């Protein structure tokens, strides 16, 4: 047993026998993990598969190896290692471990007692964990590790990170005309191909890689853990991708797909657990009313939606809306949508108040489109006593002052790419 474990550990920890392989480090991200090395809590990186969690761990490990720290990396997607417990793997090591890194922890059985014991007894000073299934991890943490952990969310690339991956180093506004053209061209690719790191770095066959990712989401992340009809859950995934950024109800979806609404609810929860889709609720001060009304569903990556869906790529307005939704989540905002007589795509809550209202559309050049988008935005602004509103478009910009019902309001229109770089 020990020999088998050690062989796999040597495969995953090549620095045991030589230099740290530079190819593991990848591109730097805007997420700075260095400060987390200064705190004792268990660090858990959460996010969908292929968003770069392992690379972030490797970047931390490279620094520690350079400082001659005793580190151990365990990847539970390894077919050998997943047969054993964490305790058995650590016991096979010949030296004490100062820094423990565990990837895809959801594939390890009964890991929590070992982690808790190691943490409470200070046997391993630093423990870093990554996972691609929020429900599994949070359930385990809630029972035994409350107060002993800190969560770090990892997302697909922001637009700024995407530009860095494309060797555009300076992304602070303003830009020259020449550079703006370059950035706009990259933004079109960002909308079409999405923000998974490996896809951003790949010059060809990006769609084929994204389809492979979708298959992995279905088979490795869901079917391997839940009793599901694979054909039906794939149908649901395609339906959600096709209708991303649209109003959604479980019963309506059940009718469209010929499935029971309880099955739809269960299958959707599996997609939410693996960070592939997110629900957005209509704002209401009553939590019961929020949950009971129709929702909107957004996919984690627009490139994935374009690769697998039937009609998503035809509607640039919804693609922009999905991009904005994902960026607001990345920024840690508490977001809802507004819907009464009219609709506003996003309202942002700060503490007990709505602080901002954002509408997203491809263009407001058409008078009918502009009227519709303004109605929804202004209704949300009136209801929440906001004097400023924001409309994000593909490539339009301007400011308009409006006086309505005795109130002066300002609506700013910005290109979405510029807003993404303005944080």
Per-residue pLDDT of 314-349, as tens digits, reads: 899 999 999 999 999 999 999 999 999 999 999 999
Q: Where in the chain is the domain with CATH 3.40.50.300?
A: 2-153
DSSP bridge pairs for 281: 295
Residues 223 and 213: their CA atoms lie apart, in Å, by: 14
Supply the pLDDT for residue 139: 62
SS3 53: helix
pLDDT tens for each residue of 44-86: 999 999 999 999 999 999 999 999 999 999 999 999 999 999 9
Closest CA to 354 of 327, 375, 336, 328: 336
What are the average pLDDT values for consecutive 10-residue runs of the chain, which has 423 residues? Answer: 91 94 93 94 94 96 95 95 93 90 89 89 94 72 73 96 94 91 97 97 96 97 94 97 94 95 96 96 75 85 95 89 98 96 97 95 96 97 96 97 88 98 86
Between CA 146 and CA 112 the distance in angstroms is 11
> 108, 174, 170, 169: which is closest to 140 by C-alpha?
108
CATH class of 2-153: alpha beta
> Which pLDDT belongs to residue 25?
94
149-153: strand order across its sheet: 71-75, 99-103, 126-131, 42-46, 149-153
CA distance linking residue 329 with residue 51, whole number of Å: 15
pLDDT at 2: 84
Question: In this structure, are residues 273 and 287 in contact, taking their beta carbons and an 8 Å threshold?
Answer: no
Question: Which ranges constitute the DSSP H helices of 145-283?
Answer: 159-165, 177-193, 197-201, 206-216, 230-242, 250-257, 261-273
Residue 28 backbone class (left: φ over 0; alpha: ψ -120 to 50; beta: rest)? beta
Query: Which residue(s) pair with 390 in the sheet?
Result: 358, 412
pLDDT tens figures, 360-385: 999 999 999 999 999 999 999 999 99
Token digits of residue 227: 């009793």
Q: Give me the pLDDT at residue 8, please.
A: 96
End-to-end CA, the chain: 51
Strand partners, 279: 297
Q: How is 250-290 classified by DSSP, letter by letter?
A: HHHHHHHHT--HHHHHHHHHHHHHTTSEEEEEBP-SSHHHH
CATH 3.40.1350 in the chain: give the residue spans.
317-423
Reading the block at residue 397, the tokens are 């910009």
Enter the DSSP assignment of 146.
Answer: T
Closest CA to 365 of 322, 395, 390: 395
Could you give the dihedral angle defined by the CA atoms of residues 366, 194, 242 and 181, in that order, rounded to the nearest 10 degrees? 20
pLDDT, position 353: 93
In sequence order, which residues have a C-beta less than 8 Å from that of residue 241 and are 6 or more positions away?
Answer: 299, 304, 305, 308, 309, 312
Asked whether the beta carbons of 212 and 205 are under 8 A apart, the reply is no
- pTM here is 0.94
Burial class from Cβ neighbours inside 10 Å (0-12, 13-18, 19+) for residue 284 reads middle
Give the three-class secondary structure for 337.
strand
Predicted confidence at residue 287, as pLDDT, reads 64
* pLDDT value of residue 288: 63
Quickly name the fold that domain 317-423 has: Trna Endonuclease; Chain: A, domain 1 (3.40.1350)
């Amino acid at each position: 047993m020990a020999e088998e474990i050690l062989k796999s550990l040597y495969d995953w920890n090549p620095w045991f026998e030589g230099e740290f392989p530079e190819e593991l480090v990848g591109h730097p991200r805007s997420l700075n993990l260095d400060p987390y090395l200064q705190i004792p809590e268990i660090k858990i990186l959460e996010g969908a598969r292929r968003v770069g969690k392992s690379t972030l761990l490797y970047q931390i490990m490279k620094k520690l190896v350079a400082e001659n720290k005793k580190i151990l990396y365990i990847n539970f997607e390894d077919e050998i290692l997943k047969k054993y417990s964490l305790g058995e793997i650590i016991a096979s090591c010949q030296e004490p471990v100062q820094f423990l890194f565990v990837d895809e922890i959801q594939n390890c059985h009964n890991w929590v007692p070992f982690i808790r014991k190691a943490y409470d007894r200070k046997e391993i000073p630093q423990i870093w964990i990554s996972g691609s299934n929020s429900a599994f991890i949070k359930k385990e943490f809630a029972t035994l590790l409350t107060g002993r952990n800190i969560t770090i969310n990892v997302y697909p690339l922001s637009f700024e990170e995407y530009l860095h991956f494309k060797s555009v180093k300076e992304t602070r506004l303003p830009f020259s005309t020449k550079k703006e053209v370059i950035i706009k061209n990259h933004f079109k690719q960002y909308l079409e191909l999405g923000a998974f790191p490996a896809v951003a770095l790949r010059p060809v066959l990006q769609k084929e890689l994204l389809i492979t990712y979708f298959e992995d989401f279905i088979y490795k992340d869901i079917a391997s853990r839940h009793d599901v009809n694979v054909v039906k859950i794939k149908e649901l995934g395609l339906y959600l991708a096709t209708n991303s950024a649209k109003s959604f109800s479980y019963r309506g979806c059940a009718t469209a797909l010929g499935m029971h609404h309880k099955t739809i609810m269960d299958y959707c929860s599996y997609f939410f657990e693996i960070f592939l889709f997110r629900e957005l609720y209509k704002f209401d001060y009553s939590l019961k009313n929020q949950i009971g009304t129709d929702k909107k569903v957004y996919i984690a990556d627009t490139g994935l939606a374009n690769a697998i869906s039937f009609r998503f790529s035809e509607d640039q307005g919804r693609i922009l809306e999905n991009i904005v939704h994902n960026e607001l989540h990345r920024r840690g905002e508490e977001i809802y949508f507004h819907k009464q007589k009219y609709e506003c795509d996003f309202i942002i809550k700060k503490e007990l108040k709505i602080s901002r209202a954002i509408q997203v559309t491809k263009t407001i050049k058409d008078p009918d489109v502009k009227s519709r988008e303004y109605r929804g935005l202004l209704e949300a602004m009136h209801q929440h006593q906001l004097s400023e509103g924001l409309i994000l478009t593909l490539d339009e910009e301007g400011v308009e002052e409006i006086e309505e019902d005795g109130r002066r309001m300002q609506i700013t229109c910005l290109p979405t790419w510029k807003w993404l770089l303005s944080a």
